[in-house]
Amino acid sequence: MIWRRDEGETAGGEHGPPARERKDRQMSDNGEVTIVGAGARLEGNVVSAGSLRIDGQVKGQINADGDVTLSPQSQVEADIRAQNVSVAGRFHGNIVVKDRAHLAKGGRIDGNITSKTLVVEEGGVFHGQSIMDAGASSGSRSSGQAGSSSTGTAPTDKKEPDQVKV
């Protein structure tokens, strides 16, 4: 299913579309959001020219020109490349975003995140390393060059990162 900015503008009555639809449309510059439904299970490469919202299960690779949103019921085992990522479900893999990575309350990330900005809400669980990189879209930096680590230890430590529960 694809949402466009001009669709459903009046569906929510005089106050506009419901907040969930407004948020989804605000995420992408082109206004299109591809949705992987709650009952869907995909394996392989997922490519989206716009933004992507995952309510179901995905295993493989995810590449989006826009934003990727993992809803609370999602279960994803993949590497993600996107503009921004928001995780409210269960995620295992690596994330490389050009701008912002967001871990919502109740979400869990097991893997590394490369981004300009990382936001972890109280109640989110992050187990891995955060690489704060102004050029995050390259994704070519190794964790040994990390500017920041979720464990609070120096990037040169050989110690495995501890689980961080916020």
| pLDDT reported for residue 157 | 40
From CA 163, how far away is CA 160, in angstroms rounded? 10
pLDDT digits (tens, 9 = 90+) for 16-25: 444 444 444 4
pTM more than 0.85: no
| pLDDT reported for residue 91 | 98
| CB-based contacts of 87-90 (< 8 A; 24+ apart in sequence) | 87/124, 89/54
DSSP 65-76: SSEEEE-TT-EE
Cα of 44 vs its chain's centroid, Å: 18
| pLDDT reported for residue 60 | 96
Residue ranges in the chain whose pLDDT is less than 50: 1-28, 138-162, 164-166
pLDDT digits (tens, 9 = 90+) for 124-140: 999 999 999 866 554 44
Q: For the chain, what are the domain ranges?
A: 2-165
Contact 72, 57 (CB under 8 A): no
| pLDDT reported for residue 33 | 87
Token pair listed for 143: 């964790």
Fill in the DSSP letter of residue 39.
Answer: T
| pLDDT reported for residue 158 | 41
